[in-house]
Structure 1
Amino acid sequence: MNNIIFEHPLNEKMRTWLRVEFLLNQLNRHCQFDQNNALIFFHALSELLEIIERNDVKGDLIKELESQKQKLILWLTFDGVDYDLLNNLIYQFDYFLAQFNLITRLGQPLKDDRFITAIRQRLTIPGGCCSFDLPLFHLWLKIPQERRNIQVENWLQHLSILDKSLTCYMQLIRQMGEFKPFICSNNFFQETNGDVNLIRIRVSLDKNVYPQVSGHMSRYSIRFLPLDTCDNVNSDSIEFELACC
């Protein structure tokens, strides 16, 4: 059966992590580009830098890594756990924390880069990256691919520690939630939980519905809406799976 997983954050920090993760994935997926799709990369880069500038991404992520590390250390005291896996994760978190401590301001070299800044300024204008707006960018897209790839790789290196640490952190968070089957009756499902950061909803693609989630960390509700407004959702019972992370 083909399923789709929807993820919904239940607090502001998780909302930020999901957005940063999404933009990092966009950068990695579109880091080798030509003049036809270059703006996908620079749009993602600009939006990521905007999030970093508006939020204390470095400080907040350091706190999250420290918190998860302490939980992992506590798990070492339990019998039957995978000690090698836990020690490996603790080692990784220590490495990430040490690397963050070497950085004064996350992404600062990218913010100071005059080439990137020129493009970011024009991205706010509809159609503002035409060749007459950014002749420097137009010329740069004509240089050999190998030279551009090296420069892009150098840019991404400044975000490497953010990418690696957030990937590890989000993988751990997602693994904390086990999918369990539920039925949404009368197209309404409500759950009361403790400290939940993220819910993951798995539903069959055949149902052609998506979830509408409202609530917060301790209580939330789910309704399912059809992709096409002309379709009717079977409000009697919609089977789905839910993981609370």
Structure 2
Amino acid sequence: MITFEYPLNERIRTLLRLEDLFARIAHTLRGESPIDHHVTLTAIFEMLEVASRSEFKVDLLQELERQRQSLLAFRDNPDISEEALSGALYEIEQATAGLLSVSGKIGHYLRENDWLMGIRSRAAIPGGACQFDLPAYYHWQNRDVEARRRDLEGWIRPMLPIRDGLAIVLRLLRASGRPEMQTACRGNYQLTMGGRPIQMVRVRVQLGAQAVPEISANKYVLNVRFMRPDTISRPRQCENDVEFELTLCNL
């Protein structure tokens, strides 16, 4: 199965983008080549751009507090595991404390590093990070792999509370919906939302179905149109019925 996620507001869209960037960093940081670590650094620059809104940290803290209050309402509920509930509350408290420890604007220490900002401005130009453009960066790329990794880890470490906080919010969001099997007749599916507050739509399709969902939604209607993943000619809509799993998520 392959899962497609569609956020319905800017807050969730930002969290999903940051989650993807953190995953990319975690993967390439384990690599040893200069190219791996160049990708890591450019992902850090992208993350800096995505999380640069001054209210982002406040939004994330508010979301964590809202989840904490929701979980507290389940205290003394015999159907809820007290151990699991206490564990979830502890995670939220730790993530909140980590975010509160982040002083100033997110990534301000990176913006104050002229060497890194020089790389960032050149890396935004196609092919702009070549060795003749950035000889000092080229020298850094040829350092010992562990030395490069230590530098990268030092630049990433202050942002890890962001990663921990968004991971909790997205995990709870994904778990909030109940998956249901649906059928898109000749590739089309429509659902009346009736004003229900939904933050994210998840669509799961069998990989062998050769169908890619194009999703649009608001508080009134959800539309899913399945297209054939044709990378050679112009994509066209599926002509057959498509079975898929639909989950509507809201915290």
Tell me the TM-score normalised to structure 1 length.
0.92
- Distance 1:10-1:55 versus aligned 2 partners, 3 A rule: farther
Q: What amino acid does structure 1 have at the position aligned with 2:43?
A: A
Structure 1 SS opposite 2:35: coil
Conserved in 1, the CA contact under 8 Å of 2:198 and 2:248?
yes
Give how far 1:62 is off: 0.7
Alignment match, 2:222:
220
| Distance change >3 Å, CA 218–CA 12, structure 1 → 2 | farther
Cα pair 2:2 2:204 within 8 Å, conserved: yes
In structure 1, the residue matched to 2:199 is: 197
After superposing the two structures, state which structure 1 stretch, 225-234 or 121-130, moved more. Answer: 225-234
Per-residue deviation, 1:20: 0.8
CA apart distance, 1:217: 4.2
Cα distance in 1 for residues equivalent to 2:166 and 2:198: 18
Which position in structure 1 is the counterpart of 2:116?
A: 116
Per-residue CA distance 1:98-136 (angstroms, 9 max, x = gap): 222222222222222233211111112111101111111
- Report if aligned partners of 2:212, 2:229 keep a CA contact under 8 Å in 1: yes
Counterparts of 1:183 and 1:55 in 2: how far apart (Å)? 42
Structure 1 residues 161 and 206: CA distance shift in structure 2, 3 A: same
Distance in 2 of aligned mates of 1:28 and 1:165: 16
Number of the residue aligned with 2:52: 53
| Shift in alpha-carbon separation, 1:152–1:93, aligned structure 2, 3 A | same
Q: Distance in 1 between matches of 2:29 and 2:160?
A: 13
What TM-score comes out, normalization by structure 2 length?
0.90
Match of residue 15, structure 1, among 13, 17, 25: 13
Shift of 1:60: 1.1
Cα gap change, 1:113/1:192 in structure 2, threshold over 3 Å: closer, same or farther? farther
Aligned counterpart, 2:24: 26
Aligned amino acid, residue 5 of structure 2: E
Task: Give the total of aligned pairs.
Answer: 243
Evaluate the alpha carbon distance shift between residue 98 and residue 217 of structure 1 in structure 2; reply closer, same or farther with a 3 A threshold.
Answer: farther
Amino acid at match of 1:163: R
5+ residue gaps, structure 1, are none
Question: 4+ residue runs of structure 1 moved beyond 6 angstroms?
Answer: none
SS of the equivalent of 1:19 reads helix
Q: Percent identity?
A: 28
User: In the aligned structure 1, how far is the partner of 2:137 from the partner of 2:25?
Assistant: 18
Deviates more, 1:116-125 or 1:226-235: 226-235
Alpha carbons 2:203, 2:247 under 8 Å: kept = yes
